Amino acid sequence: MDHFQFIGTDMPGVSIINSFLQEDNRGMFVKSFEKDIFRDNGIDFSCNELFFSYSTKHVIRGLHFQTHAPQAKLVGVISGRVFDVVVDLRAESPTFGQWRGFYLSAVNRNSLLIPRGCAHGFIALQDESIVSYLGDGPYDKATDTGIRYNDPEIGIRWPINNLNDAIVSEKDQQLMSFGEFRKQYRFEV
């Protein structure tokens, strides 16, 4: 493939993006973002920050979002494989309170566009899984929070035999429930 492919999903604003790829006898070159091409495909995304996470197998990170000035995110996998999850927190969305999961890997080179007003998280399915994040909008440490990965009301089906075997930070284990989110916040984006 030598061009981007934009694939919509049934969750408004969430898209799978298959990256630009060139391969030859030296290896490959992958481009996961180009502002003008994204804009030409109806996606207005402006990168404010770029960061990476490195995770061992069965690490769960998330479900994160900002309560003030939510960010859009473009996430992809540089090494390894993850099951990436989006939870719709937008009050007027037809998929409010629902989750969707997507397999992202260094092999499939897919990226996932997560719109403002959605929570994001993933589980690493391989050791040495490196996830890249482009953030559209400023990071706001004071309102950086999330919903627990194992909230029964959301009911994410993580691809792990025993969820008790997941490796989760203390911070992520203490995030709010979806019920607490609904009582305190309302995203209208």
- Options 64, 120, 149, 185, the catalytic residue: 64
Mark whether 133 is an active-site residue. Answer: yes
Mark whether 103 is an active-site residue. Answer: no
| Residues facing 147 on adjacent strands | 176
- Options 54, 103, 133, 185, the catalytic residue: 133
Distance between CA atoms of residues 85 and 88, nearest Å = 10
Distance between CA atoms of residues 48 and 45, nearest Å = 9
- Exposure string of 66-88, with b = 16+ CB inside 10 Å and e = fewer, is bbeebbbbbbbbbebbbbbbbbb
Query: Do 72 and 137 touch, CB atoms closer than 8 A?
Result: yes
User: Residues with catalytic annotation?
Assistant: 64, 133
